[in-house]
Copies of this chain bind each other. A is one copy, B any other.
Amino acid sequence: MDHSVNPAPRARSHKVYSEVEHAGTILRIPARRIELSNGDSLDVYDSSGPGSADRRTGLPALRQPWIERRRPLGQGNVTQMHFARRGIVTEEMAFAAAREGLSAEFVRAEIAAGRAILPANIRHPELEPMLIGRNFLVKINANIGNSSVASSIDEEVEKLSWSTRWGADTVMDLSTGRNIHETREWILRNSAVPIGTVPIYQALEKVGGRPEKLDIEVFLETLIEQAEQGVDYFTIHAGVLLRYVPLTAGRVTGIVSRGGSIMAKWCLAHHRENFLYTEFERICEVLKRYDVSFSLGDGLRPGCIADANDAAQFGELETLGELTEIAWKHDVQVMIEGPGHVPLHKIKENVELQMKLCKEAPFYTLGPLVTDIAPGYDHITSAVGAAMIGWFGTAMLCYVTPKEHLGLPDRDDVKQGVIAYKIAAHAADLAKGHPLAQRRDDALSKARFEFRWEDQFELGLDPETARKYHDATLPQDGAKTAHFCSMCGPHFCSMKITDDVRRIAAENGVGEREIVEQGLREKSAEFVAHGAKLYS
């Protein structure tokens, strides 16, 4: 096992830090700089962290002094929302704002309003702060975690590094097997991104795997154990109410959320209301002492196209809205989980209803898959839905790998899932007009047009694969600087012909100046005015 992780994913890029001063402290803001062959460079958002020489020592505790300095101010509530609402811009807010190219005050206001969260447990000082909210770059989450069937601790930590190398913004540890606590510890100490968990999985282990044995005490004990380790957000299925459960009985695929099905079984077994709902304020009391954010789970999310947007799903969403307000009363940060499987024409309704019912708390969706007919390709079926729901306002997209519904993702599946979701998130950023987004498309397109092949590769999400594909047809080194490509060959190259077009246009005095002065409409009018008709 190689313990030195996070090698640079690109041959010609490196980590750079810009310095930002905040209240007397110098913050070092990470980015990845891609050096281009024409002397230009492009800095891109980078979540891969500083890397560590040895996994066993973990990452530096970047935030420790900030947390210490702020301790007297919190009065038992240390959440970013608590500070934001009191008008305080924290180091975390200034740091995350700089990563997005936005002002720290704007970030503070968004967090105070509940429209964004900055998940940052005070026990996770290794974290590089980041934002989840619809007025920021769309983020993506990768799931890792062992199960009783397969996978080891080393594999999981390796998957964490691998996920962030390709661009995951947060990682959820969904372990359900042995060594849950130890696996999580290793993951947290090596993670510069927020780590989320579903604590009910571990709570269930503690009661021998029998849902009906669960109660609020074992659950709170589990929350504290995980909060002490530094988990940044918890998925909690507090919206699975007794009265919603029968609404799923007529579905094609019933309840497909593990957490949701556990709580549904508990409710039915006891014929009582979900204890996560009835004891919700006790949970808030724990979360605010660490600044763990809620990720309110959608335990009744649809598991197929046929079940999308049904009464069970939207009933739970209404309850999540109610719980959001309770959490906010405690200044606990909240995001809301969403589906799942939704056909294209039903996606928008999900976002609109979520924004309304949950008062614009950030939405965090799993895909959604827009069809069920492609097992083995659900990173694609879901990237389609993810791009669209991201454009409509979803703040974070939980990835799906090609193995979804079939097996546990391996290293390559994780990469495929992350890249499909970087595509979806970036497409949404472009459509929303985030100021940082289009620069990269333009730089890559310009490189493509100018036949700067290496620049085109380096500016892409996966330079290695792009280079490999190019080499499959034209392996010669000379082809990397050739002014044509394998698709058309040298005589048919449209880009080469465009160069000629530009030259001839310039020689004939038809240039950019003319284009600016005469728009299309004017030129058409002129054409008609001169009697230049078809078949004259």
Contacts and interface: CB of A to CB of B under 8 A. Distances in A.
Interface of A: 147-150, 176-177, 201, 204, 209, 211, 243-250, 252-258, 260-262, 264-265, 268-269, 271, 273, 277-278, 280-281, 303-306, 311-312, 314-315, 318, 322, 343-345, 370-377, 379-381, 383-384, 387-388, 391, 402-403, 405-408, 410, 419-420, 422-424, 426-428, 430-432, 438, 440-442, 444-446, 448-449, 456-457, 459-462, 465-466, 468-470, 472-474, 485-495, 497-502, 504-506, 508, 510-512, 514-516, 519-520, 523-524, 527, 532, 534-535
A530 to B, nearest CB: 11
Given A243-B524, A427-B371, A376 B465 contact: yes
Contact of A462 (B311, B376, B506, B510): B376
Given A254-B495, A407-B474, 18 more contacts: A243-B524, A243-B527, A253-B448, A254-B449, A256-B498, A258-B492, A264-B501, A278-B534, A303-B448, A303-B449, A344-B391, A345-B431, A372-B442, A373-B441, A376-B461, A403-B472, A403-B473, A405-B485
A250 B513 CA distance: 9
Most buried by B among A278, A314, A426, A468: A426
Q: Which 3 pairs of residues, A with B, have the shortest CB-CB distance?
A: A254-B498, A407-B473, A304-B445
Contacts of A255: 494, 497-498, 501
Nearest to A453: B406
Given A261-B501, A304-B442, A456-B375, A407 B488 contact: no
Contacts of A424: 384
Given A498-B248, A501-B254, A444 B344 contact: no
B176 A427 contact: no
A462 B473 CA distance: 26
Stoichiometry, as copies per complex, reads 2
Given A406-B466, A427-B381, A519 B311 contact: yes
B311 A520 contact: yes
A460 B448 CA distance: 36
A285 to B, nearest CB: 13
A444 B422 CA distance: 28
Nearest to A253: B449
A420 B247 contact: no
Given A384-B427, A469-B407, A491 B373 contact: no
A405 B374 contact: no
B520 A430 contact: no
Nearest to A243: B523
A245 B534 CA distance: 18
Nearest to A499: B254
A446 B510 CA distance: 63
5 contacts: A252-B446, A305-B430, A315-B520, A388-B388, A408-B487
Contacts of A466: 375-376, 406
Contact of A406 (B277, B419, B438, B469): B469
B448 A405 contact: yes
B445 A515 contact: no
A264 B499 CA distance: 11
A311 B176 CA distance: 56
Nearest to A252: B445
A250 B501 CA distance: 12
B406 A344 contact: no
A96 B490 CA distance: 41
Given A344-B427, A407-B469, A431-B344, A489 B445 contact: no
B445 A306 contact: yes
Contact of A489 (B147, B426, B468, B494): B147
Contact of A209 (B380, B485, B491): B491
A379 to B, nearest CB: 8
Most buried by B among A370, A408, A419, A485: A370
Contact of A501 (B265, B278, B419, B516): B265
Contacts of A535: 278, 281
A301 to B, nearest CB: 11
A497 B262 contact: yes
Nearest to A405: B448
A486 B373 contact: no
Most buried by B among A441, A462, A493, A504: A441
Contacts of A441: 304-306, 371-373
Contacts of A177: 489
